[in-house]
Structure 1
Amino acid sequence: MLTKYFMSEMAHLHPQVVIVTDRIELDSQIHNTFNHSRLKAARATSGKNLVDLIHKKNADIITSLVHKFDTASKNHAVVKSKNVFVLVDESHRTQYGELNVQMQRALPNACFIAMTGTPLMKAEKNTATKFGGIILPVYTVNQAIADKAVLPLLYEGRVVPQQVNESSIDSYFEMVCEPLSDYERADLKKKFNRSDVINQGEQRIYTIAWDISLHYKKNWQNTGFKAQLVCPKKLVAIRYKKILDEIGIISTEVLISSPDDREGEDTAYGETSDTIKSFWKKMMDEHGTPKKYEDNLISRFKNSDKPEVIIVVDKLLTGFDEPKNAVMYLDRSLKDHSLFQAVARVNRVSEGKDFGYIIDYYGVLKELNDAITLYGEYEPSEIEGTMTDVREEIDKLPQRHSEVWNIFKAIANKKDLEAYSQLLRDEITRQLFYEKLAAFARSMKVALSSMTFFRNNSDEEIKRYKEDLTLFLNLRGAVQKRYSDAVDYKHYEAQIQKLMDAHIQSGKVEIITKLVNIFNEKEFAEEVEKVVGKAAKADTIASRTAKHITENMDMDPAFYKKFSQLLKETIAAYEQGRIDEVEYLKKVMQLKEDVLSHTDSDIPKELHDNNPAKAYFGISIECYKRIDTENRRLKEVAKETALAFDEIICSTVLHEGDPVIDWQSKTNLINPMKLRMEDYLIDVIKREREIPMTFDDMDLLIDQSVEVAKKWLR
């Protein structure tokens, strides 16, 4: 309609319309559509050809992939005509990064109009800001459903109960990770403790595979309608296919990108597994090229009886239109525009199809509700406040660039990479470098997507920024490995995955949200409240508190063990019906506050502002309770021990208030310090306070306290 308007109402200007997409299939489809009209249509075959078609006015309608603009702007004269109208499809995908800048450079005077059903709303990526505002009225998805242009979506939430054998996993984990330092072990545990990693266990996949097989067989098999299964990463997608093939009820294919692409979410480990490489080789042997592999599978899905279910990670979640695609089985985290785009794959109109279906095994109900709230009844006035001028971010770039370089100002030879690494030996300096580099990288990302940045900076300045960013990113990778700030996870991946497969049991799939039309505002809100109500909020707080406890256990073992147990008891009380969801929420919120503030009513007030001393107190009282269960003065004795240990340790390892560099590895400091601590235990605790400590008791108490001090005083 826009093209018709331009060509008819502005005919006296001899306008040209350039239609930009980011997919070859769509580019071809649009070109063929206009070829059947009275207008002269052409497809740009290269950047040079694109410029020639506009300069020579060889076509009324020109279709082009966005990537053609890169060479068009760099190697050929710009098009200065003001009578060029550029219609950009899926602008939330194509208009961020340098491609957008190259498009504006190639056509500096053109009128750009963007089309998207899911405009980005983030400060650094805001579609409305990018194109200078929103054209009213907005055509919402609710209006499209009313017009029967798309179908309503039915959502059903399902969950696989999982039981973790904690003691077995913990003991085997310690054996597997024995070569690692305490810091590396904690970092590795943190990575594998995330729900998205735990959810990739073999038993859970097996359980869901059976549920999908039976659900599809009952509702869709032999109807002509198809399904998509969306996975968090390639290895999981391949695992699903293997199990689904073994079950043998439904036919499947896996469509993923090459092993070189990091498709899917960030994972705890980044190496491509042999399983993925083997699968990819098999696909290339069968199809020849990545393009033929993708084209062949899409063609089979659209035109043949098999596959009934296509398994994907990121592929086919946007821009894939197949009316027979009726149900999406979702087992990965998605949110915002990505989630809304994905679920829209199953809302296309087809004869005999009344709804699209979303069967959610991951738990994206809240995120889906947020996306619908934003895109279902879109009010531009509500969004305007989220827009920020990218120039504000670009203005920060020189300062942030200088702040990174300032860390290395003492290095005379700026090409001496070893000198950079040596300077970053100090952990505090290293953390400062990571922080400043992250800020610089964020500003660069925004700058490179803005025409303002390219107008106000010379090519040499831009090149310098890029080269410096590359230098510092490479340096960060090198020092993270050198100083063990990041663990090389690939060595541990297989062993830990086996632990999870063996020691995480999955129960029968349960339906937690009945089928509900996500565009029926009242019914959907009721289902959201059930899942995102007080109990769900309490569960979220409890899980995050438990994660914080796990990650910080070594900082104060006694404190965190106590609150870990209190948290488990609170969850159990709710699950057993001994407290209601209001009390459950109240209790976990209080536990969270106590944990985050490191507060315990059992800790003497003299220690409240001294975190290391709190930890020594907890270790001491645990020790004394084991030795002398009848003594009622143990709390007072533990307080005295904590204060004494704190004075001995601080007087040894602090110099003018700051920790001595690398004191944790200096035996000439630690050994005399331990002797002083032992003398105190012998003279005061054993003789004066009459606590019957053995030397083994003393060694354990001293060693545990020193290990805690190493964590706090650094």
Structure 2
Amino acid sequence: PCVFQMIPPFFSRMLFLEKKGGIIWNTQGSGKSLIMVWLTKWIIENVSDSRVVIITDRDELDDQIESLFIDVNEKVRRAKSCKDLRDILDKSEDPIVCSLIHKYGHNAGKQADIDQYRKELLKDLPKDFKAKGNIVAFIDECHRTNSGKLHEAVKTLMPDAVLIGFTGTPLLKKDKKTSLEIFGPYIHTYKFDEGVTDGVVLDLRYEARDIDQDLSSQDKVDLWFEQKTKGLTERAKLQLKQSWTSINKLYSSKQRLEKIASDIVFDMSLKPRLKEDRGTAMLVANSIYEACKYWEIFMSMGFTKCAVVTSYEPTTQSVRTATSDLSQESEEEYKKSIYERMLGGKKLSEFEKDAKKQFKENPAQMKLLIVVDKLLTGFDAPSATYLYIDKSMRDHDLFQAICRVNRPDGEDKDYGYIVDYMDLFRNLQLAVSDYTTEAFDGFDKEDVEGLIKNRYDEAKSEMEGTLASLEALFENVPAPKADIDFIEYFCGDDSDGDEKTARRDTLYTLTAALSRSFANCCDKLVSEYGYSENDVNHLREEISGYNKIKEMIKLASCDYIDLKPYEADMRYILDTYIRAEDSRVISELGNMSIVELLLKGKTTTPVDLVKDLPGTDEAKAEMIDNNLQHEIVKKMSSNSVYYGKLSEMLKKIILQRKTEAMSYEEYLRQVVELAEAILHPETTSNYPDGVKDSATRRALYDYFENNVELTIDVDSAIRTSIQPGWKRNFQKQQRIRLAIYKKLLLHMYTEDRATEEANNVFDIVQRQEEYDA
């Protein structure tokens, strides 16, 4: 929104007066493609004879931009080649043009791609060529060192164009001055910490994990080396030793990869979003070979919901043209065989498209994507929650990679998590929480401020802040702060009122945040933050107490029916970290309501039945009362006569309990009977045969004051007259009313009374599921 607000004044001056461009730096995930669309719309509408040319090097972004333009009813012309782009610009027909920097050659790099694009762009360019219209060109990824060469080529093709560079990452210090000179000043900046504050992107949490890779037998390696280098000169031996050192650093042992894979599979069963199949993860491997190794290891572990997505293409030619070194040839053959197994006969493009779609839309079926370079830029998947890095990265590549997990995705995704196996942020070892050195030392410090934080520091801070908030919330609970006082404060007589609902929402949110933050830092509280073991145990008990109150309030208010998004996560965290006594309540209830639980009282002692509900006997009774009343209200519309009587019965039972006119045991016996009447009215003695097994006939029987013949006649008339779709069709509804009216006349109703009663009965009919058609 802030970008959109700055468009008119800035662009009016820039386009109409100064004819100058600039740079828009909006952090990863903040909607760069949307900004391109908004700006294009504004330019086309406000600049006469205007045209916008968008140059990008990512297929996903090219597709996304076209899709967004279609959504706003704008047609985009996609240039198929550089020659096609020149032909389009030589005419005045297409106001919006997209040009993709194609991938030239097998696994060509970014520099080679842009160099080739530049050559083709200017190849055989006529001297008198002139691009038509007032052109504004958008150049994506303008932060790159080679963007100057692309800028020069575009200016040669379109000398009068205003060029605007887009970037999602800061400019490198060494390139900043040059980039600003080439494109012009910043038009707008929207940094990472601003995006987090606005809720556009999520904050990131960082964790370093160390997997040692030591030689198991240095002596055997030395012996092997001596045997293999016999007859070589000292210089040759030295070169071989240097190569060995490089290879040893570059390639991970199978055991190390297996440890990391085991680590990830363990997280899949432990971390809430991953465990609950709402979240996904990406693993950045050091090479395509290691990506294939990882895939094979995961398969052997039985973890099959993963795929490799890289730039590799499994062709016979790649194996045949590989280096003559046997180990290298073997590596190519290995990659090809793994890909063939993984593809299972599918085309590579089809397989990758399906894998990415499942990863985004069906996380339960595609939990992990193993990548090397591909998908680390421009791939937006809100489900992505964890990024595991096993590759040396820095600056732009690292910045873009870690932002794969910063997209919001519902209330249960609180952060994006970075797990670093390569010690990319070495300053953590010095307990320095400033992530602008080492891996990000190529950026100016202010440009990456607040990008990534120590997850333990943040979790501890969140835990302490949440504890303080809970204490403040509970200060308002009246003394002596017994269970019944908490129920009264959070539920009371007006349980569904806005004030009580807001109090409970605050309680649920704070207890969930407290348990989650404690789980994220509990193993460091003693070693890193000066807590004693007693302090940590006291915290566990305190958090367990808060969660016990939360569960009690949930049950008393019937909020367990409308489970909050984080509850599935919290159940697991509580079981794992907190030793929560109240977890038995969840397992005891399962998917049952308290009213359903009471039905077991017919086959067991009611006191034993409710012993696992949290709170005192008085608190348990309040829970039961609230739940019974809630169930009655829910069913009241289907049969107001029957459930109205049950509501009066419940009021009498509650009054007798509160005035101590009945024992707790007698109270439980009566509410068990009442629960049976609420959930299974057909088992009561109220209804005769021919009526009791149909909820609709029971409602009509109660309305017609126990007239069996009239009940069955009216029900039969209704069923005969009902037509499909009657609830949305007035004429079909009138047909039902007429059938009821005629049947009432046959039972000696006057015309006026039959008309009135037909309308009343029709109201009952509308609330009966049996009549749905």
Taking structure 1 as the reference length, the TM-score comes to 0.48
| Higher RCO by CA contacts (8 Å cutoff, separation 6 or greater) | 1
Greater radius of gyration (CA): 2
